[in-house]
A and B are shown apart, each in its own frame.
Chain A
Amino acid sequence: MDNKFDVIVIGGGHAGVEAACSSARTGSKTALITHKVDKIGEMSCNPAIGGLGKGHLVKEIDALDGIMAKATDRSCIQFRMLNSSRGAAVRGPRAQTDRILYKNAINQLVSEQKNLQIIEGSVEDLIVLNKKVNGVILGDNKKISSKSVVLTTGTFLQGLIRIGSEKQEAGRVGDKASIKLAKRLKDLKFSIGRLKTGTPPRLLKKTINFNDLNEQQPDKKLVPFSFINRDIHIPQISCFITHTNKNTHEIIAQNLNLSPMYSGEIQSMGARYCPSIEDKIHKFKSKSSHQIFLEPEGLDSDLIYPNGISSSLPTEIQEQFVRTIKGLESVIITQPAYAIEYDFVDPQELTHSLETKKIKNLFFAGQINGTTGYEEAASQGIIAGINASLKTTSNKEFIIPRSSGYIGVLIDDLVTKGTKEPYRMFTSRSEYRLLLRADNADLRLTPLGIDIGCVDIDRQRQFEKKSKRIKEGFRLVKNHKFSPDALLKKGIKINKDGKKRNIIDLLSFSNITTPKLKKILPELSGLEDDVIEQIEIEAKYAGYLDRQRMDIQDFEKEENLKIPKSTNYKLVGSLSNEMVEKLSKIKPPTLGAASRISGVTPAATIALLRYIKKNKNKKAA
């Protein structure tokens, strides 16, 4: 085994594998160190990837040549486009996946990656010299040196599992927690918080009666997650839906005091969008029933993941309430639900490249930064991996602005605002939702990836072809203009206002469709589906997209006003003490980032702007 690398990635979860692969792709000799090699690519919670907001993230990771989308396409056993009847900007692709197929795919992709070595071992400590990380120390005291380190330890820092009154130190069920490492981070004076999350029980499939349950079928049209794939080749199967009822609620309400969340034992903050069944029943008393998705864990798996009933009640109570539910009357629980509490580092400790402000060349990614979800973790992983690699050779940083991608929104939210609950992506978090769509993630981000060197040559070639096709397609539809008279001759009626319109203008009329327009512009038939799709979306959102593009120009003006790292906020004047303290801690890199910090008023932003400009002039003079 080598003991010298450019980049070491600690952790083999979703953040870790993306970080390791992106670092290696960007050209660094990389090591991925994990507790157990056979856990790489494990989906430790629900067997699904994507969804609203999350699906956007997966597409963006793929646009940067990441591995999550490719693995999803190889394991997707039920594809659904959420919001498929609604506009393109709010559609979210989601896959139920086969756990084993997913894990195999990840393992294959990781093992095929050049420049990447996998090491099994537990990292007990970081080597830090002069506030710069130089490598890690393993459990057997072996030292491995590196120029950068990416820490992706998920819920393993001081992980504590709870089922009823039982507790157990663990990273997830069956895996040790990283206790020494957590202590080390505390010694380095990182600001640490505590969060909790939960997972439902796993059910034995053959003990469930599916006959009277609502079936949710997969979509007819399968859209691969990865831009380099044309199809998904995995058989598609159904999910089933059942509901809790009065009896279920009664049992839970009666035993609420046995749940550590309610007995006062757990005080850490859980995500409001991932409430336990106890929470749902306690907080929404007027609701007499809650939906449960019975998700298959795989094509051949004998397990079902009942999405919607995560809990930390004692095992026997779980059994009782689950059996009140339709279809689950004689179900067998193979693994009880549990809640897990874990440490996270305040993401305000990080810069936009995910490097820590305290220790140079040390990067954090994933759940350790207070997020939840595989997709959120992987998004940070890919960015941290690229930046850890760049750091070994240059001063360049790879940062996706909020105006270019959901990954940018995610990281900017985390590092400027911090988080109090596990952070999850929603489409409503993006101010430029109509522009940042799942369908155009490659058009938005792949060029940035090519520039920075994290995109393989095959994808680069494929992208360049597509991008050329789209440019030509838009040129075609913009250059040809038609008068109402000319249109009428081909049977297309519009107002006779004498105005000549191009294809995009015409498509924005609700009664005019692309097939109709092929009559007046036969060349349209020569365009491929992905080109037509982009043209139709542009037409549908016409005025709105221009409006958002203008918003982005305003946004960029503020983003281009850099605030020097050395700024002494006490000298700015006109700032309250609280604001000075906040700004000094977060050190926003731009005026825009400063304005997004909670509590920074518009007036303070203006004072800051003046100060920056004045100082710039001074330096120039």
Chain B
Amino acid sequence: MKASKETIFALATQRGKSGIAVFRISGKGSHTIIKSISSKKKFKTNFATLNNLLDGKGVIDQTLTTFFKSPKSYTGEDMVEISCHGSISVINKITKTLLKKQIRLAEPGEFTKRALINDKLSVIEAETINDLVNAETENQRKTAISNLSGNLDKLVNEISNKQKKLLADIEAIIDFADEDLPKEIYKNIKEQNKNIYKQIENIIERSALSRQIHDGFTITIIGKPNTGKSSFINYINNKEVSIVTNIPGTTTDLVSSSLDIQGDKYTFIDTAGIRKYKNLIEKIGIERSLESAEKSDLNIVFLKNNEKKNYSKIKSKIFVKSKYDTNKKKISGVHSISSVSGYGIEPLIKTISSKLKKKPISGPVFSRERHMESLKKSLLLLKSLDLKEIDIAAENVRRSIMYIDGINQKFDIEKILDIIFSDFCIGK
């Protein structure tokens, strides 16, 4: 017979040679199954126990094994975490041994999904865990961990509750047309609505700024061939900052490098690939770069002489003249740098980050497209609220709540009625 809840396991750490590797096992059978392949027979919940894993013929590995009891675990189910030695052969042997038991490999994200179903996490928190696991920079980590502590859920609930109060007042006007409702109710509704959409506007603005924390900033480097673009990239890749990723361009012939500068992610797109078109007219090369320049947050233009006017179409830009070590002539409004000596690089980085980083962000922010879409749709409906058409106003507010609630929960009319009856004396 099939167990009511399947027990699953997965390697929680990256596969490959390392000091230790961690297995996670979750589900009703997890404790019994692990006991059946352990030298220890008794485990104290939440305590790491030195334990030999056995496969029937002998010891597989010496491990630290921790038992978690439902509901106090990540998934909310009975769980076991095994820290073993991180060699491929140990990992393989443990995997094989577990597979022989009534237990299967977890699907991607299945542990988090179970946590979600067992109410250990909200939808937002589950999304945040993914952000946290994928955080590359300091600021991404900070945002993710603050969202994980429930800030976003609180914010969503706060807005949603205000919207529900707003809808309750509107519904009271409709459904209790012949009751003596307070005279100032229309004025109250307008004030409430304004207060809510101002708050949403504020959050959208704040979140748009912090979007760059999530996605990072894109900086395109353009300029004629041989102006020092690649040397600059090589220099900062090697010296100035840590490399996050290095992705060779596939379709655009552009190369990008992501760097963590003062906690933020900066992706530099090097249009060095344009050199291929060297034998064509240079203008074509510039036009190719324009495409990338158009999409980026900032552009660094490497000058050969003083051909600034060629780049008049480019919006946000910093001019740079490289090779300061060989030519010490400075031009006003142009950063002089040298990728050989490092001259001027630090001030340039400072200019870049000061141009991109505006004001510091305070308060929880939304970093996902899904969240932003919902906020924007909700905002649009509230901003155009017209109480002269109260039935349509109610419909718009109702839909605006559905968007906000869609971020983390579902809509329930009973809540609206609860508010109406607690706020107004209604009934004959």
Contacts and interface: CB of A to CB of B under 8 A. Distances in A.
Interface of A: 46, 52-53, 82-83, 86-87, 89-90, 92, 271-275, 280, 283-284, 287, 290-293, 307-308, 417, 426-429, 431, 433-434, 541, 544, 547, 570-571, 573-576, 595, 598, 601-604, 607
B416 interface: yes
Contact of A434 (B118, B391, B416): B391
B373 interface: no
A575 B28 CA distance: 13
Q: Report the 6 A-B pairs with minimum CB-CB distance, sorted nearest first.
A: A87-B391, A272-B421, A284-B425, A307-B428, A428-B171, A308-B428
A598 to B, nearest CB: 7
Contacts of B398: 431
Nearest to B390: A86
Given A571-B4, A601-B117, A274 B174 contact: no
Contacts of B179: 291
Contacts of B391: 86-87, 89-90, 433-434
B425 A576 contact: no
A614 B161 CA distance: 38
Contacts of B2: 571
B417 A428 contact: yes
A136 B213 CA distance: 73
B28 to A, nearest CB: 11
With most chain B CB atoms within 10 A of its CB, the pick from A87, A290, A308, A541 is: A87
Nearest to B110: A574
B236 interface: no
B427 A90 contact: no
A573 B412 CA distance: 26
B392 interface: yes
Given A431-B398, A544-B392, 7 more contacts: A272-B426, A275-B427, A291-B179, A417-B414, A428-B174, A576-B117, A602-B123
24 contacts: A46-B428, A53-B175, A83-B174, A86-B389, A87-B390, A272-B426, A275-B426, A283-B425, A287-B425, A291-B180, A417-B414, A427-B175, A428-B171, A428-B174, A428-B413, A429-B413, A433-B391, A570-B4, A571-B2, A574-B5, A574-B113, A595-B410, A598-B412, A603-B116
A573 B26 CA distance: 13
B131 to A, nearest CB: 19
B6 A433 contact: no
Given A429-B413, A603-B117, A90 B174 contact: yes
B281 interface: no
Contact of B416 (A292, A307, A308, A428): A428
B119 interface: yes
A293 B178 CA distance: 10
Interface residues of B, number: 38
Contacts of A574: 5, 113-114, 117
Contacts of A290: 180, 425
A271 B116 contact: no
A23 to B, nearest CB: 32
A333 B176 CA distance: 28
B123 to A, nearest CB: 8
Interface in B144-183: 171, 174-180
A271 B390 contact: no
A427 B118 CA distance: 35
A428 B394 contact: yes
Nearest to B396: A544
Contacts, number: 104
A573 B413 CA distance: 29
A280 B389 contact: no
Contacts of B114: 574
Contacts of A571: 2, 4
Given A86-B174, A598-B412, A273 B395 contact: no
Contacts of B6: 573
Contact of B177 (A82, A429, A598, A603): A82
Given A293-B428, A570-B4, A575 B413 contact: no
A84 B1 CA distance: 63
Contacts of B399: 547
A433 B413 CA distance: 13
Given A272-B421, A274-B427, A603-B117, A544 B395 contact: yes
A593 to B, nearest CB: 14
A569 to B, nearest CB: 10
A604 B177 contact: no
A240 B114 CA distance: 61
Contact of B175 (A275, A428, A595): A428
Contacts of A307: 428
Interface in B397-417: 398-399, 410, 412-414, 416-417
Nearest to B2: A571
A280 B390 contact: no
A554 to B, nearest CB: 12
A52 B427 contact: no
A604 B114 CA distance: 10
Contacts of A576: 117-119
B309 to A, nearest CB: 41
B117 A575 contact: yes
Contacts of B118: 576
A197 B179 CA distance: 20
A271 B421 CA distance: 10
Contacts of B410: 595, 602
A417 B391 CA distance: 26
B5 A573 contact: yes
A242 B416 CA distance: 30
A45 to B, nearest CB: 10
A603 B175 contact: no
A573 B177 CA distance: 48
Contacts of A601: 117, 119
Contact of B425 (A87, A280, A427): A280
Contacts of B425: 275, 280, 283-284, 287, 290
B417 A83 contact: no
Contacts of B176: 52
Nearest to A80: B178
A566 B177 CA distance: 46
Given A291-B179, A573-B5, A273 B426 contact: yes
Contacts of B417: 426, 428-429
Contacts of A434: 391, 395
Contacts of B395: 433-434, 544
A417 B4 CA distance: 26
A429 B416 CA distance: 9
A352 B332 CA distance: 80
Contacts of B416: 428
A271 B171 CA distance: 18
Contact of A272 (B175, B394, B412, B427): B427
A203 B398 CA distance: 43
Nearest to A272: B421
A90 B427 CA distance: 18
B117 A82 contact: no
A52 B175 contact: yes
Contact of B421 (A53, A89, A273, A429): A273
Contacts of B4: 570-571, 573
B421 A427 contact: no
Contacts of B113: 574, 603
A274 B413 contact: no
A619 to B, nearest CB: 17
A82 B176 CA distance: 9
A52 B414 CA distance: 17
A363 to B, nearest CB: 26
Contact of B389 (A87, A293, A429, A547): A87
Interface in B108-143: 113-114, 116-119, 123
A273 B390 contact: no
B182 to A, nearest CB: 9
Contacts of A272: 421, 426-427
B215 to A, nearest CB: 27
Contacts of B427: 271-275, 280, 308
